[in-house]
Structure 1
Amino acid sequence: MRKKSLFRRLLITVCLLFISFSALLSYYHQYYSEHPIALLMLTAGTLSLLIGAFRWHLTPIRQALSALNSGINSLKDNDFSLTIYDQQYQEVNSVIGIYNELTTILRNERMDIFQRELLLDTVIQSTPVALVLTTDSGSIVYSNLAAKELLKQPQIIGSNFFDIYQQLAPALQTAIDEKTNGFVSDVIDEQNIIFHVNCQQFMLNGREHSLYLLKNITTEISLQEANMWKQVIRLISHELNNSLAPIASLTRSAKKIIENPEHVHMLNDVLETIANRTDHLHQFISQYAKFAKLPKPVISQVELTPFLQQLATLIQVKCEINVSSQYAELDAAQIEQVVINLVKNAKESGSDEQEVGVDITQQANLLTFSIYDRGSGLTDSQMQQALLPFFTTKSTGSGVGLALCNEIVTNHGGKLRLANRQYGGLCVSFSLVLA
């Protein structure tokens, strides 16, 4: 479509006015040249025509500016539905086009945001985790169905959270008051109830808000405990059978040797083998007892240089140390045991011992230990279960060592991280806050 032009419109207006004024002036000179009143009337008429013509000429601009003003006010009110009709005048066409394009983009983005919010709200309402969002004064501004069921309130938005959570377990109330993050257990009607509580604070629309996430995990924990006990029983039964079967066989052999004195020289070997199997069984049971009785770390200020030098001497693999701090707060004996166990695992991974190493580095206030090898690494399923107690990839392993290391690190405020290395091998690392 050909664009219209306000300049062309003005030019036509001026030409028509000039022609009209010339015709009127010629008419005046021909018939009314001696009448000044007629001249005044002619002048007034000409001015009226001129004003009317210019108003007619400026009408598209006034309409466009008025529409833009209305549109901008609509944008200020978050209304993106107004579209300006484009009269195809090239002088204002680009401005109107930009406005219409902008409103289309904003309208589409608002629709996308609305759809995402609807999807997010559907997910949040369906989750079994009770979610409560409050202002700094405790007024609830958002919640989901699980929160209403937990608090036994059909409508809680607008209520004060700290006024309606009294029916919760006392330990859960304390966790909410103290904004605890972690597991909380209590006894209700002689039944042990376990909740996972997560409390976070953040700024929203310039105001401080608190988000509370509460989930009853009693059933999940019970199932996990049952599965764990079954696995422990299977492992212990398997290990006992592996030891008791040869012991029983050797005992029968010992009886036959005693009945036949000419073979008495073989009795010592039989008894030695029985003793070895008994020692192995004792060590196996001791490992499980050690895992169950792991003491809490005794945190103290440790001088890092002698501690790390002693650690490097103990592990007897290449050790790179890049630490600038002089002191750290940790249980030196437990952290030393963690590194020794992880290095032992790395050596038993099938890696060349020359490829096993330890890096100890410092980044800001974090002390990081990384133990690496060039073994076979772990599959995705093994990676997911590697830190679970009693899970092992070794034919003779008990599955306790890595879980024990993880518990020690967790008690120090960290967590073991496992990652397969490029070109093969595994890297196990953990970070501790220096102070």
Structure 2
Amino acid sequence: MKRSLAGRLMLWLLPLGVAAIALPLAMQTWLEDVWLSAIISAVVLLPLAAWVIRQALMPVNSLFRALSGAVNSYRDGEFNFGVHWSGNDELNDLVLSHEELGQVLRDQRQGLAQRELLLDSMIQHSPVAMLLLAPGGDGGMRVVFANLAARNLLFGGRRMEGQRFETLLEHAEPELVEAMERGGDSLFAVGAEEEGGEEQIYHLARRRFQLNGRQQELLQLWRLTTELRRQEVQTWKKVIRVISHELNNSLAPVASLAHSGGELVRRGRHDQLEHVFATIEERARHLEEFIRGYARFAKLPQPQKQAIEWAAFLRGLQQQIGFTIEGHAEGVRSRIDPAQLGQALLNLVKNAHEAGGEGSEVTVRVTPLHGQVRVEVLDRGSGMNEAVLQNALVPFYSTKRNGTGLGLALTREIVEAHDGRIALHNREGGGLCVSLHLPST
């Protein structure tokens, strides 16, 4: 049966209450003086009451001290502290709740410990070199943490914790020291130590943050050589496939026509030679334009920027190809290379006309944004499917029979050289929107 704390105190105080009533009556009979009996009863009962109450509250005080000690243990990260209470009252409920809290904290701590071990194992065996730095007492930066890749890269595999980072840099590669001095994220290449060795390319990432009230800096070094070489090989394979395809498409008909032309000469049928030569010339000019496109893509110079006003700039392009201007181009200015960006926009408008068919209307819309200007080329053609949208900006990708796959890729190179970006999406109701985001002045 559960007994409340108040009930237990009543059991302690009930005999004292009976004594408080009976003793004055007995004293009054003996002393025959009411006031004197009351005084003597008080002198006897008050110390007794104090002792009874103290004895009753002693286990409670011990329990409170134990609970306070347990809370302090939790604060210090120790969750194995236990509290016991023999009663079946409200304090027992408090102790049970406290034990449940301790078990929850123990389970959480164990889970955190397991996750920390997993995270530490992943970081230690990561191929990315990671260093955590914190200010030292001498004004420099000290290594707080370094994984195995960082130790092997910078310290011969030895532990680096506590080392002065500036001292480590004195023995590091000059390219890494230069990248650190530049600040921020950067790419750098480390030359091969041996003749015929491979140059190593790294990406340095730096992040600063507050940890436990102290300024910390995390350095990450990725070795990109293998991935870049793999991407380079894939790119060369793709270039070779595209060039081989174009050469075969042109040289095979040329060889066949040359053979046919020789047969016609031997037979004396000179009237058909004009068609043979015209076809050979057409294929030769296609190859010439194909190679010229590759040359433009490979030798795109740095933009020579100058201030332009978009309304006037677009009106100048309208003299070369037809399109409608919409939006708020008046008074909007940017610093661009007029020749490069003008050619990029002309190519986009030309593509838009081809997508929409002969006589189709193409719109160029200018929208000023905060610190930017958005230039959209809009058509009402058939748009692009998902596969084409995902690859349209990739060099050498083309869905046209005689396309080189360099038009949109060259446009992207020009826009990105102007610190901008390009995006494509299908319009509601049909058609394509090519949007350029460029800085404004």
TM class by shorter chain equals 0.7 to 0.9
Name which of 310, 331, 341 aligns with 1:304. 310
Shift of 1:274: 0.9
* Aligned pairs for 1:15-414 within 5 A: 15-31=14-30, 42-59=41-58, 62-63=61-62, 65-82=64-81, 89-90=89-90, 108-136=107-135, 137-151=140-154, 152-188=156-192, 189-190=194-195, 191-261=198-268, 263-308=269-314, 310=316, 316=322, 320-322=326-328, 326-344=332-350, 359-370=365-376, 375-379=383-387, 386-414=392-420
Give CA deviations for 1:146-205 in whole Å, capped at 9, x if unaligned. 111111241112212221134433222201221252322242234422222222333333
Q: Label 1:426 to 1:304 Cα distance change in 2 as closer, same or farther (>3 A).
A: closer
Of residues 332-341 and 239-248 in structure 1, the stretch that sits farther from structure 2 once superposed is 332-341
Tell me by how many angstroms 1:118 deviates: 3.3
- Distance in 2, Cα, partners of 1:73 & 1:313: 82
- Classify the secondary structure of the residue corresponding to 1:194: strand
The answer on whether the counterparts of 1:377 and 1:426 sit within 8 Å (CA) in structure 2 is no
TM-score, normalised via structure 1 length: 0.81
Q: Which runs of 5+ in 1 are unaligned?
A: none
Shifted more, 177-186 versus 300-309: the winner is 300-309
SS in 2 for 1:139: strand
Partner SS for 2:386: coil
Name the SS for the 2:199 alignment partner: strand
For 1:222, the aligned partner's letter is R
Would the alpha carbon gap of residues 210 and 34 (structure 1) be closer, same or farther in structure 2, given more than 3 Å must change? closer
* Residue type of the alignment partner of 1:377: N
Return closer, same or farther for 1:254/1:383 CA change in 2, 3 Å cut-off.
same
TM superposition shift of 1:404:
2.2
Displacement of 1:292 in angstroms is 1.0
Deviates more, 1:111-120 or 1:158-167: 111-120
For 1:37 and 1:321, the matched residues in 2 are separated by 108
Deviation string 1:73-106 (CA, Å, 9 cap, x unpaired) is 334434455565576644x688767766766665
| Residue 117 of structure 1, CA deviation | 3.5
Amino acid at match of 2:18: I
Bigger Cα displacement from structure 2, 74-83 vs 226-235: 74-83
Percent pairwise identity: 36
CA distance in 2, matches of 1:16, 1:313: 114
AA aligned opposite 2:216:
H
- TM-score normalised per structure 2: 0.80
Q: Distance in 2 between matches of 1:306 and 1:426?
A: 25
CA contact (8 A) 1:186 1:192 kept: yes
Whole-angstrom distance in 2 between the partners of 1:409 and 1:165: 38
Structure 2 portions without partners, runs of 5+: none
How far apart are 1:247 and its partner, in Å?
A: 0.8
